[in-house]
Amino acid sequence: MIMKKRHIAIIAGGDSSEHEVSLRSAAGLQSFMDSERYDIHIVVLRGADWQVQLEDGTRVPLDKNDFSYTAGGVKHTFDYAYVTIHGVPGESGQLQGYLDMLRIPYSCCGVLAAALTCNKYTCNHYLHAFGFDIADSVLLRKTDTVDVEAIIGRIGLPCFVKSNTGGSSYGCTKVKSPEQFLPAVEKAFAEGEEVIVEAFMQGTEVTCGVYCTRDKQVAFPLTEVVAHNEYFDYDAKYKGESDEITPARIPDEVRDRVQQLTLRLYKLLGCHGIIRTDYIILPDGHINVMDINTTPGMTATSFIPQQVRAAGLDIRDVLTDIIEDDMSR
Protein backbone atom coordinates (compact mmCIF):
# COMPACT_ATOMS: atom_id res chain seq x y z
CA MET A 1 0.00 0.00 0.00
CA ILE A 2 1.42 3.38 -1.04
CA MET A 3 1.07 5.99 1.70
CA LYS A 4 -0.16 9.40 0.64
CA LYS A 5 2.50 12.05 1.09
CA ARG A 6 1.86 14.76 3.65
CA HIS A 7 1.62 18.16 1.97
CA ILE A 8 4.07 20.59 3.61
CA ALA A 9 4.08 24.37 3.18
CA ILE A 10 7.37 26.13 3.91
CA ILE A 11 6.20 29.65 4.70
CA ALA A 12 8.81 32.29 3.86
CA GLY A 13 9.28 35.93 2.95
CA GLY A 14 7.45 38.24 5.32
CA ASP A 15 7.45 41.99 5.76
CA SER A 16 10.84 42.69 7.36
CA SER A 17 14.14 43.62 5.73
CA GLU A 18 15.12 39.94 6.01
CA HIS A 19 12.59 38.89 3.33
CA GLU A 20 15.28 37.63 0.93
CA VAL A 21 17.20 35.91 3.73
CA SER A 22 14.00 34.05 4.60
CA LEU A 23 13.64 32.86 1.01
CA ARG A 24 17.16 31.41 1.19
CA SER A 25 16.20 29.57 4.38
CA ALA A 26 13.12 28.19 2.61
CA ALA A 27 15.25 26.87 -0.24
CA GLY A 28 17.56 25.25 2.31
CA LEU A 29 14.66 23.61 4.13
CA GLN A 30 13.18 22.33 0.90
CA SER A 31 16.50 20.67 0.04
CA PHE A 32 16.79 19.17 3.55
CA MET A 33 13.28 17.69 3.86
CA ASP A 34 12.48 14.12 2.90
CA SER A 35 10.88 14.49 -0.55
CA GLU A 36 9.92 10.79 -0.59
CA ARG A 37 7.80 11.30 2.51
CA TYR A 38 6.54 14.86 1.88
CA ASP A 39 5.13 16.91 -0.98
CA ILE A 40 6.79 20.27 -0.34
CA HIS A 41 5.92 23.74 -1.60
CA ILE A 42 7.26 27.15 -0.64
CA VAL A 43 4.61 29.76 0.22
CA VAL A 44 5.90 33.32 -0.15
CA LEU A 45 4.32 36.11 1.89
CA ARG A 46 4.69 39.84 1.43
CA GLY A 47 1.97 41.92 3.02
CA ALA A 48 -1.43 40.71 1.81
CA ASP A 49 0.13 38.99 -1.22
CA TRP A 50 0.50 35.26 -0.47
CA GLN A 51 1.65 32.96 -3.27
CA VAL A 52 2.55 29.30 -3.69
CA GLN A 53 5.65 28.46 -5.69
CA LEU A 54 5.04 25.56 -8.08
CA GLU A 55 7.53 23.00 -9.36
CA ASP A 56 8.14 24.96 -12.58
CA GLY A 57 9.00 28.13 -10.64
CA THR A 58 5.72 29.92 -11.36
CA ARG A 59 3.55 31.16 -8.53
CA VAL A 60 -0.19 30.98 -7.95
CA PRO A 61 -2.28 32.84 -5.33
CA LEU A 62 -2.88 31.17 -1.99
CA ASP A 63 -6.47 31.23 -0.70
CA LYS A 64 -6.16 32.62 2.82
CA ASN A 65 -9.67 31.42 3.68
CA ASP A 66 -8.44 27.84 4.07
CA PHE A 67 -4.68 27.99 3.25
CA SER A 68 -5.12 26.24 -0.09
CA TYR A 69 -4.25 26.86 -3.74
CA THR A 70 -5.50 25.77 -7.13
CA ALA A 71 -3.19 24.57 -9.90
CA GLY A 72 -4.20 22.88 -13.14
CA GLY A 73 -7.82 23.13 -12.10
CA VAL A 74 -7.20 21.08 -8.96
CA LYS A 75 -7.49 22.45 -5.40
CA HIS A 76 -4.66 21.54 -3.04
CA THR A 77 -4.64 21.86 0.76
CA PHE A 78 -1.70 21.75 3.15
CA ASP A 79 -1.34 19.35 6.08
CA TYR A 80 1.46 21.22 7.87
CA ALA A 81 3.34 24.53 7.84
CA TYR A 82 7.05 24.95 8.44
CA VAL A 83 7.54 28.65 9.24
CA THR A 84 10.87 30.20 8.26
CA ILE A 85 9.98 33.90 8.19
CA HIS A 86 12.54 36.07 9.99
CA GLY A 87 10.58 38.93 11.56
CA VAL A 88 6.94 39.96 11.00
CA PRO A 89 4.59 38.09 10.73
CA GLY A 90 6.38 34.76 11.26
CA GLU A 91 8.28 35.51 14.47
CA SER A 92 5.73 37.90 15.95
CA GLY A 93 2.85 35.48 16.59
CA GLN A 94 0.52 36.89 13.93
CA LEU A 95 0.99 34.03 11.48
CA GLN A 96 0.71 31.50 14.30
CA GLY A 97 -2.68 32.93 15.29
CA TYR A 98 -3.91 32.52 11.72
CA LEU A 99 -2.70 28.92 11.53
CA ASP A 100 -4.23 28.15 14.93
CA MET A 101 -7.61 29.39 13.74
CA LEU A 102 -7.42 27.07 10.73
CA ARG A 103 -6.14 24.23 12.94
CA ILE A 104 -3.08 23.70 10.78
CA PRO A 105 -0.11 22.32 12.76
CA TYR A 106 3.14 24.24 12.41
CA SER A 107 6.81 23.98 13.28
CA CYS A 108 7.53 26.89 15.59
CA CYS A 109 6.45 28.65 18.78
CA GLY A 110 2.81 29.48 19.42
CA VAL A 111 1.31 32.98 19.60
CA LEU A 112 2.42 33.93 23.11
CA ALA A 113 5.98 32.57 22.93
CA ALA A 114 6.48 34.04 19.45
CA ALA A 115 5.21 37.49 20.43
CA LEU A 116 7.30 37.49 23.61
CA THR A 117 10.58 36.39 22.01
CA CYS A 118 10.09 38.79 19.09
CA ASN A 119 10.22 41.69 21.56
CA LYS A 120 13.86 41.69 22.71
CA TYR A 121 13.41 44.12 25.61
CA THR A 122 10.34 42.42 27.08
CA CYS A 123 11.72 38.92 26.63
CA ASN A 124 15.09 39.66 28.21
CA HIS A 125 13.52 41.33 31.23
CA TYR A 126 11.05 38.47 31.59
CA LEU A 127 13.96 36.01 31.63
CA HIS A 128 15.89 38.23 34.05
CA ALA A 129 13.05 37.82 36.55
CA PHE A 130 13.79 34.08 36.49
CA GLY A 131 17.51 34.53 37.14
CA PHE A 132 18.94 34.81 33.61
CA ASP A 133 21.74 37.34 33.14
CA ILE A 134 21.12 40.07 30.54
CA ALA A 135 22.73 43.33 29.44
CA ASP A 136 21.34 46.60 30.82
CA SER A 137 19.07 48.24 28.26
CA VAL A 138 16.70 51.14 27.56
CA LEU A 139 13.56 50.98 25.42
CA LEU A 140 12.64 53.86 23.09
CA ARG A 141 9.39 54.48 21.23
CA LYS A 142 8.90 56.96 18.41
CA THR A 143 6.90 59.32 20.64
CA ASP A 144 9.64 59.44 23.31
CA THR A 145 11.92 62.40 23.90
CA VAL A 146 15.43 60.99 23.62
CA ASP A 147 17.76 62.24 26.37
CA VAL A 148 21.09 61.19 24.90
CA GLU A 149 23.15 62.25 27.91
CA ALA A 150 20.94 60.38 30.40
CA ILE A 151 20.86 57.19 28.32
CA ILE A 152 24.62 57.14 27.75
CA GLY A 153 25.15 57.94 31.42
CA ARG A 154 23.23 54.81 32.32
CA ILE A 155 24.19 52.40 29.51
CA GLY A 156 27.71 53.66 28.77
CA LEU A 157 29.76 53.65 25.57
CA PRO A 158 30.16 51.79 23.37
CA CYS A 159 26.58 50.54 23.20
CA PHE A 160 24.32 48.91 20.64
CA VAL A 161 21.27 50.61 19.17
CA LYS A 162 18.93 48.30 17.26
CA SER A 163 15.31 47.55 16.44
CA ASN A 164 13.48 46.00 19.37
CA THR A 165 11.22 43.80 17.27
CA GLY A 166 13.08 43.44 13.95
CA GLY A 167 15.95 41.19 13.02
CA SER A 168 19.29 42.27 14.46
CA SER A 169 20.98 42.13 11.03
CA TYR A 170 19.44 45.41 9.88
CA GLY A 171 19.30 48.78 11.58
CA CYS A 172 21.90 47.86 14.20
CA THR A 173 24.72 50.26 15.11
CA LYS A 174 27.60 50.04 17.54
CA VAL A 175 27.65 53.57 18.95
CA LYS A 176 31.01 54.84 20.21
CA SER A 177 30.34 58.56 20.68
CA PRO A 178 27.39 60.77 21.65
CA GLU A 179 27.36 62.25 18.13
CA GLN A 180 26.59 58.81 16.66
CA PHE A 181 23.64 58.15 18.96
CA LEU A 182 20.70 59.98 17.33
CA PRO A 183 21.58 58.88 13.75
CA ALA A 184 21.74 55.29 15.07
CA VAL A 185 18.32 55.66 16.69
CA GLU A 186 16.86 57.01 13.44
CA LYS A 187 18.36 54.08 11.52
CA ALA A 188 16.90 51.56 13.98
CA PHE A 189 13.45 53.17 13.85
CA ALA A 190 13.40 52.50 10.11
CA GLU A 191 13.04 48.81 11.03
CA GLY A 192 10.18 49.12 13.53
CA GLU A 193 8.25 51.16 16.07
CA GLU A 194 10.56 50.44 19.01
CA VAL A 195 14.32 50.71 19.55
CA ILE A 196 16.46 49.08 22.21
CA VAL A 197 19.70 50.62 23.49
CA GLU A 198 21.83 47.87 24.98
CA ALA A 199 25.04 47.95 26.98
CA PHE A 200 28.12 46.53 25.26
CA MET A 201 29.33 43.21 26.67
CA GLN A 202 32.92 42.16 26.07
CA GLY A 203 33.29 38.39 25.92
CA THR A 204 32.94 35.25 23.83
CA GLU A 205 29.86 35.08 21.61
CA VAL A 206 28.26 31.66 21.25
CA THR A 207 24.95 30.37 19.96
CA CYS A 208 23.10 27.20 20.90
CA GLY A 209 20.31 25.40 19.05
CA VAL A 210 17.83 23.05 20.71
CA TYR A 211 14.56 21.29 19.96
CA CYS A 212 12.17 19.15 21.97
CA THR A 213 9.52 16.59 21.12
CA ARG A 214 7.20 14.72 23.45
CA ASP A 215 9.83 12.10 24.23
CA LYS A 216 13.18 13.85 23.84
CA GLN A 217 15.09 17.08 24.30
CA VAL A 218 18.10 17.76 22.10
CA ALA A 219 20.77 20.42 22.63
CA PHE A 220 23.19 20.77 19.72
CA PRO A 221 26.92 21.57 19.99
CA LEU A 222 27.57 25.30 20.39
CA THR A 223 28.94 27.58 17.69
CA GLU A 224 31.49 30.25 18.58
CA VAL A 225 31.18 33.44 16.53
CA VAL A 226 34.26 35.55 15.84
CA ALA A 227 33.31 38.53 13.67
CA HIS A 228 35.95 40.07 11.42
CA ASN A 229 34.13 43.37 11.88
CA GLU A 230 33.50 45.00 15.23
CA TYR A 231 30.37 42.94 15.83
CA PHE A 232 28.20 40.29 14.18
CA ASP A 233 26.47 42.53 11.63
CA TYR A 234 24.78 41.70 8.31
CA ASP A 235 28.08 41.30 6.44
CA ALA A 236 29.44 39.03 9.17
CA LYS A 237 26.25 36.99 9.12
CA TYR A 238 25.59 36.65 5.42
CA LYS A 239 28.77 37.61 3.54
CA GLY A 240 31.23 35.36 5.32
CA GLU A 241 32.93 38.13 7.28
CA SER A 242 33.17 36.03 10.44
CA ASP A 243 34.56 32.75 11.72
CA GLU A 244 31.89 30.31 12.86
CA ILE A 245 33.55 27.59 14.91
CA THR A 246 31.50 24.49 15.73
CA PRO A 247 31.93 23.13 18.33
CA ALA A 248 32.86 26.27 20.25
CA ARG A 249 36.31 26.52 21.84
CA ILE A 250 35.05 26.68 25.42
CA PRO A 251 35.38 24.35 28.43
CA ASP A 252 32.94 21.44 28.55
CA GLU A 253 31.53 22.76 31.83
CA VAL A 254 30.61 26.09 30.20
CA ARG A 255 29.16 24.30 27.16
CA ASP A 256 26.96 22.20 29.46
CA ARG A 257 25.75 25.30 31.31
CA VAL A 258 24.81 27.04 28.07
CA GLN A 259 22.93 23.99 26.80
CA GLN A 260 21.04 23.64 30.07
CA LEU A 261 20.20 27.35 30.09
CA THR A 262 18.84 27.05 26.56
CA LEU A 263 16.68 24.05 27.41
CA ARG A 264 15.46 25.81 30.54
CA LEU A 265 14.37 28.97 28.72
CA TYR A 266 12.83 26.80 25.97
CA LYS A 267 10.49 25.26 28.54
CA LEU A 268 10.00 28.48 30.50
CA LEU A 269 8.87 30.38 27.40
CA GLY A 270 6.83 27.48 26.01
CA CYS A 271 8.88 27.24 22.83
CA HIS A 272 8.33 24.72 20.07
CA GLY A 273 10.36 23.34 17.18
CA ILE A 274 13.98 24.42 16.74
CA ILE A 275 15.13 27.60 18.46
CA ARG A 276 18.58 29.17 18.65
CA THR A 277 19.74 31.38 21.52
CA ASP A 278 22.71 33.75 21.34
CA TYR A 279 24.89 34.42 24.39
CA ILE A 280 27.92 36.40 25.51
CA ILE A 281 30.18 34.53 27.94
CA LEU A 282 31.81 37.21 30.10
CA PRO A 283 35.36 36.91 31.48
CA ASP A 284 33.94 36.46 35.00
CA GLY A 285 31.98 33.39 33.87
CA HIS A 286 28.54 34.96 33.66
CA ILE A 287 26.51 33.86 30.63
CA ASN A 288 24.36 36.70 29.32
CA VAL A 289 21.37 36.02 27.08
CA MET A 290 21.43 38.24 23.97
CA ASP A 291 18.69 37.07 21.63
CA ILE A 292 16.31 34.17 21.03
CA ASN A 293 15.62 33.13 17.45
CA THR A 294 12.43 31.08 17.09
CA THR A 295 12.75 30.73 13.30
CA PRO A 296 16.54 30.46 12.91
CA GLY A 297 18.25 30.58 9.52
CA MET A 298 18.23 27.27 7.67
CA THR A 299 20.54 27.62 4.68
CA ALA A 300 23.25 24.98 4.23
CA THR A 301 25.76 27.24 5.99
CA SER A 302 23.47 28.53 8.78
CA PHE A 303 24.23 27.82 12.43
CA ILE A 304 21.61 25.10 12.97
CA PRO A 305 22.69 22.85 10.06
CA GLN A 306 26.31 23.32 11.19
CA GLN A 307 25.40 22.25 14.72
CA VAL A 308 23.33 19.30 13.52
CA ARG A 309 26.31 18.03 11.50
CA ALA A 310 28.65 18.53 14.46
CA ALA A 311 26.28 16.45 16.60
CA GLY A 312 26.58 13.60 14.09
CA LEU A 313 22.93 13.91 13.11
CA ASP A 314 21.21 14.28 9.74
CA ILE A 315 19.19 17.47 9.30
CA ARG A 316 16.62 15.50 7.31
CA ASP A 317 16.03 13.19 10.27
CA VAL A 318 15.75 16.14 12.66
CA LEU A 319 13.12 17.87 10.51
CA THR A 320 11.18 14.62 10.08
CA ASP A 321 11.31 14.11 13.85
CA ILE A 322 9.77 17.55 14.45
CA ILE A 323 7.12 17.29 11.70
CA GLU A 324 5.97 13.79 12.65
CA ASP A 325 5.81 14.70 16.34
CA ASP A 326 3.62 17.71 15.51
CA MET A 327 1.37 15.76 13.16
CA SER A 328 0.74 13.02 15.73
CA ARG A 329 -0.48 15.39 18.45
CATH for 126? 3.30.470.20
Are 33 and 73 within one domain? Answer: yes
Round to whole Å and give the CA distance between 303 and 288: 19
- Give the residue from 199, 234, 252 where a domain finishes: 199
Are 93 and 183 within one domain? Answer: no
- Domain with 102 in it: what CATH number? 3.40.50.20
Residue ranges with strand state E in 14-124: 38-46, 49-53, 59-63, 68-71, 74-77, 80-83
The answer to whether position 236 is within a domain reads: yes
Partners of residue 44 on adjacent β-strands: 12, 51
Are 123 and 252 within one domain? Answer: yes
The answer to whether position 253 is within a domain reads: yes
Are 312 and 234 within one domain? Answer: yes
Q: pLDDT tens string for the chain (329 positions)?
A: 446 799 999 999 999 889 999 999 999 999 999 999 999 999 999 999 999 999 999 999 999 999 999 999 999 999 999 999 998 999 999 999 999 999 999 999 999 999 999 999 999 999 999 999 999 999 999 999 999 999 999 999 999 999 998 765 688 999 999 999 999 999 999 988 999 999 999 999 999 999 999 999 999 999 999 987 765 444 545 456 689 999 999 999 999 999 999 999 999 999 999 999 999 999 999 999 999 999 999 999 999 999 999 999 999 999 999 999 999 98
Q: Would you give the distance in Å from CA 260 to the centre of its chain?
A: 19
Are 124 and 257 within one domain? Answer: yes
Are 167 and 264 within one domain? Answer: no
> In terms of residue numbers, what domain contains 310?
114-133+202-327
Are 61 and 101 within one domain? Answer: yes
- Domain with 191 in it: what CATH number? 3.30.1490.20
What pTM was estimated for this model as a whole? Answer: 0.92
Are 90 and 75 within one domain? Answer: yes
pLDDT at 166: 74
Round to whole Å and give the CA distance between 189 and 195: 6
Are 128 and 271 within one domain? Answer: yes
Number of domains making up the chain: 3
- 68-71 vs 59-63, strand pairing mode: antiparallel
Are 212 and 154 within one domain? Answer: no
What lies within 8 Å, CB to CB, of 209 at 6+ separation is 219, 220, 262, 274, 275, 276, 296, 303, 304, 307, 308
Are 316 and 211 within one domain? Answer: yes
- Give the residue from 164, 199, 234 where a domain finishes: 199
The answer to whether position 1 is within a domain reads: no
The answer to whether position 42 is within a domain reads: yes
The answer to whether position 277 is within a domain reads: yes
Are 244 and 171 within one domain? Answer: no
- Give the residue from 199, 225, 244 where a domain finishes: 199
